[in-house]
A and B are shown apart, each in its own frame.
Chain A
Amino acid sequence: SAVISQKPSRDICQRGTSLTIQCQVDSQVTMMFWYRQQPGQSLTLIATANQGSEATYESGFVIDKFPISRPNLTFSTLTVSNMSPEDSSIYLCSVGGGNTIYFGEGSWLTVV
Chain B
Amino acid sequence: GENVEQHPSTLSVQEGDSAVIKCTYSDSASNYFPWYKQELGKRPQLIIDIRSNVGEKKDQRIAVTLNKTAKHFSLHITETQPEDSAVYFCAASIGGSYIPTFGRGTSLIVHP
Contacts and interface: CB of A to CB of B under 8 A. Distances in A.
Contacts of A105: 42-43
Contacts, number: 44
B16 to A, nearest CB: 28
A99 B100 CA distance: 10
A92 B43 CA distance: 8
A42 interface: yes
A103 B49 contact: no
B103 A100 contact: no
A71 B71 CA distance: 40
Contacts of A92: 43-44
Interface residues of A, number: 17
Interface of B: 32, 34, 42-46, 49, 51, 89, 93, 95-96, 98-100, 102-105
Given A33-B98, A96-B98, A105-B42, 6 more contacts: A33-B99, A42-B102, A92-B43, A99-B93, A101-B98, A102-B46
